[in-house]
Amino acid sequence: MPDFLVPYQCDRARSFAALADAHAEFWRLVIAPHWPRMRMALGEEVLLRARSLATVGPESLPKPEESHLVAADQRLLLLPLIFAADRVSCPTDHPHTLRLAYQARGGALLAGTTPPPPNQTASSPWSAPAEPESSAPWKPQPPPPPWPPP
């Protein structure tokens, strides 16, 4: 262990306080100036994927190219990330939750690059959600009749 780290190993309270201070300073200098745009990009991503799931279904989600997942009896948690560098991953530490982490579409714009055109393959996390077969706008369906019938 390097000599400069020895005091931190001996004094854990000091270590955690220093780490917390470093994180706060990192937030203040690096993240905070860009947070409003990051938050807006992530919010738009959530709305886009929710609309896509509601109108097209799970086929519209980004798909890892090299893996096959079976998600039975698991809830799906979508994690759009700003710093994912065009990656898709499925980290999990809970047997009943499948997490799909992927680059939010707005991440490239915030980084000063532009994402590939929306007509890329469905396996790309940049791809636009598939549009429904019908060109007619989506209309809510009436609720089902009450059960049991009167």
pLDDT digits (tens, 9 = 90+) for 104-119: 877 766 766 655 554 4
In 3D space, the residue among 81, 68, 78, 63 whose CA is nearest the CA of residue 120 turns out to be: 63
* Distance in angstroms (rounded) separating the CA atoms of residues 125 and 105: 8
Tell me what pLDDT residue 111 has: 67
**What is residue 75's DSSP assignment?**
E
Q: For the whole prediction, is pTM greater than 0.75?
A: no
Give me 22's structure tokens: 């470093």
In 3D space, the residue among 45, 53, 51 whose CA is nearest the CA of residue 82 turns out to be: 45
Query: Which is higher by pLDDT, 118 or 16?
Result: 16
